[in-house]
Structure 1
Amino acid sequence: MSLSRVAALVLFSLFSLNAGAQITYQDLKPLFQDHCLMCHSGPGAPLGLSLDSYQGLMDGSSRGAVVKSGQPGESELLHRLRGESQPRMPLTGPPWVPEEDIARVARWIEAGAPEGNSTGAAAAEPAPAGLAPLAERSGESFEHVAPILLQRCAKCHSDNGIMGRPPEGLRLSSWEQVVGTGERAAVVPGVPRASELWRRVTGIARPRMPFDGPPYLDDAQIALLERWIAAGAPGPDGRKAPMPTGAEVRLHGRLTGRWSLDGLPLDVSGARIRKNPRVGDYVEVRGHVGRDGSIRVERLRPR
């Protein structure tokens, strides 16, 4: 037998052994870390589905099991990854989980969804970036607030959201979307009180968000969002967001003076003010963002 034929047989044997090797949860853990844990981890995981541990995955969500051992065709995890159930996961897709990785998940479930070896060292692995407790985070770049938005907001405010088209065109899956204008500006860099995103999560503006609350964001999460906006809403690279000069805004809140909205000064020169609103009234303000982040009002009315 020639040397080249021997080498070919050896390579074929190695490939066959690798293809037939059993896949375990431990093998798939990096896949979940890359695509799922930004949302599905910790106490705020959507529907209680936590994918940061084998037990959490097998416990499923508040709607039931997502993995049925030995039954890939009956496993909701696969349906979501393939887009057979909506919304397709991850919510930040496309890009979606690669087909070859989805096939690995299917083989794992078909083989009985084994856990595999889990050593103490593996259990002590640091959490993926962005998942550290708030108290351990430093700085106010987008990577620090992204987990909050992805866990609590992107389920609706994304192209792949549970409500179909994102409400009012507001998408919150990436920095570019959050600080972009879309139909209106949701963030005015440097001015939290002019930012509809902050006003909604605090409850100053109604309806309070996220829409499926309570529970709403906790005080630490709201404070982090406020600091991030006040710092200029910087992106992952630390670069401040550009001021959306001229962008439309629609703000809800209470008049705290003539003219201020929850302490936010308003430029009402030339504005249409309807029904003579009084201090303390809940009102709607429509206007545009000035070069310095100020709000030039076009219309103000009680709600």
Structure 2
Amino acid sequence: MGKVLARVKLCSLLLVPALGMAQDVSFDDIRPILQARCVMCHAGEAAPLGLRLTSLDELLKGSIRRQVVARGDPSDSELIRRLKGQSQPRMPMTGPPFLSDAEIALFERWIAGGLQAGSQPADATLSALPLQRPPAGQPVTYEHVAAIFASRCVKCHSPYGLMGSAPEGLLLNAYSAILDRDERVRVVPGAAGASELVRRIRGQSRPQMPYDGPPFLSDEEIQLIVDWIDQGARDANGQPSPSPVGARVRLQGVLGEGWTLDSLQLVVGPGTRIDKSPDVGDYVEVRGRWGADGRVLVERIRRR
């Protein structure tokens, strides 16, 4: 009996500092993580499932389905399950990289400690961080554009989007998905003008994206994406993606003199299929492959 009491006493002594650590965490500690990684999507009327993370009050309300934090119980909190990937889709949608183990542990300690409010009012509003351009002389990387995709595109272009499966199979929730080349390329590293993604957000290809526009992307947002692609569509570590020579492309735009598409040079040869007698000034669709010389090798062109 004495050994049992001793063990209980020891467990109690060990538990005290753990609880103390949990109670030391307040909403002030997780606020910067929410601002940097979460509120870009979870804000306003378009917040997925109505879950807004722009204030403590909104977080505690949860989504239209359920509360996402269970006071004192991290393991029963949907927020933690999403951050760890135990529930899908894993959050944040811009991952990988997802939150670090240390960041997730901070959320767990906050929940275990009773969801302490911190120094600011519970309705104090968070806003997404402004666009971040690299310092002068440094290239644009995926880190600089990921927030745009997350806030304006991922709600549809993800495995669990508002439309069910992603439209035309295009996933914009991760770097590897955006650069996928299986069916056709939407991003041609080094050539924004030949990238279907850019032509969609500019409105050169229809329908213009994002689908819930207007408002569409701002000129600043579009230019950042263009710079990212023109500089090699670099990953978060700054490594450029190789050119997708031979990959299929599908583009739309206005046909110009000398077989151009909005100034993009096309290669039209004897094997090119030409439908509906397209003429200069017509809106056309071009299907072909990306050539080693930086031009589109046209397999089919038709007036639309």
**TM-score (norm. length: structure 1):** 0.74
1:36-86 CA-partner distances (Å, limit 9, x unpaired): 245447x8974696535435646878x79967997x9xxx97599499998
CA–CA separation in structure 1 for the residues paired with 2:197 and 2:12: 57
CA–CA separation in structure 1 for the residues paired with 2:110 and 2:78: 9
2:273 corresponds in structure 1 to 272
Instruction: Select which of 117, 126, 134 maps to 1:115.
Output: 117
1:103 CA drift (Å): 6.5
1:202-243 CA-partner distances (Å, limit 9, x unpaired): 111100111111221100000111111111212222222111
Change (3 A) 1:88 1:234: closer
CA–CA separation in structure 1 for the residues paired with 2:149 and 2:284: 26
Residue 267 of structure 2 contacts residue 296 of structure 2 at CA under 8 Å; is this kept in 1? yes
Q: Identity, % of aligned pairs?
A: 43
CA–CA separation in structure 2 for the residues paired with 1:145 and 1:221: 8
CA–CA separation in structure 2 for the residues paired with 1:191 and 1:49: 37
CA–CA separation in structure 2 for the residues paired with 1:12 and 1:40: 39
1:36 corresponds to which letter in structure 2?
A: C
Change (3 A) 1:294 1:284: same
2:231 corresponds in structure 1 to 231
1:285 CA drift (Å): 0.5
1:289 and 2:290 aligned: yes
1:298 corresponds to which letter in structure 2?
A: E
CA–CA separation in structure 2 for the residues paired with 1:279 and 1:136: 40
Residue 249 of structure 1 contacts residue 286 of structure 1 at CA under 8 Å; is this kept in 2? yes
CA–CA separation in structure 2 for the residues paired with 1:161 and 1:207: 18
1:140 CA drift (Å): 1.0
CA–CA separation in structure 2 for the residues paired with 1:52 and 1:226: 29
Change (3 A) 1:68 1:232: closer
- Does the residue aligned with 2:265 lie in a helix, a strand or coil? strand
- Does the residue aligned with 2:185 lie in a helix, a strand or coil? coil
Residue 157 of structure 1 contacts residue 170 of structure 1 at CA under 8 Å; is this kept in 2? yes
**TM-score (norm. length: structure 2):** 0.73
1:140 corresponds in structure 2 to 140
2:177 corresponds in structure 1 to 177
1:206 corresponds in structure 2 to 206
1:133 corresponds to which letter in structure 2?
A: L
The total of aligned residue pairs comes to 285
1:289 corresponds to which letter in structure 2?
A: W
Instruction: Select which of 75, 90, 93 maps to 2:92.
Output: 90
1:193 CA drift (Å): 1.2
1:274 corresponds to which letter in structure 2?
A: D
1:257 corresponds to which letter in structure 2?
A: E
Instruction: Supply the RMSD in Å over aligned alpha carbons.
Output: 4.4
1:183-206 CA-partner distances (Å, limit 9, x unpaired): 210011111111000000111110
Greater displacement, 179-188 / 25-34: 25-34
Residue 158 of structure 2 contacts residue 166 of structure 2 at CA under 8 Å; is this kept in 1? yes
Residue 26 of structure 2 contacts residue 110 of structure 2 at CA under 8 Å; is this kept in 1? no
2:53 corresponds to which letter in structure 1?
A: L
CA–CA separation in structure 2 for the residues paired with 1:102 and 1:194: 43
1:251 and 2:251 aligned: yes
Residue 254 of structure 1 contacts residue 281 of structure 1 at CA under 8 Å; is this kept in 2? yes
1:134 CA drift (Å): 3.8
2:165 corresponds in structure 1 to 165
1:260 CA drift (Å): 0.7
Gaps of 5+ in 2: none
2:303 corresponds to which letter in structure 1?
A: P
1:144 corresponds to which letter in structure 2?
A: H
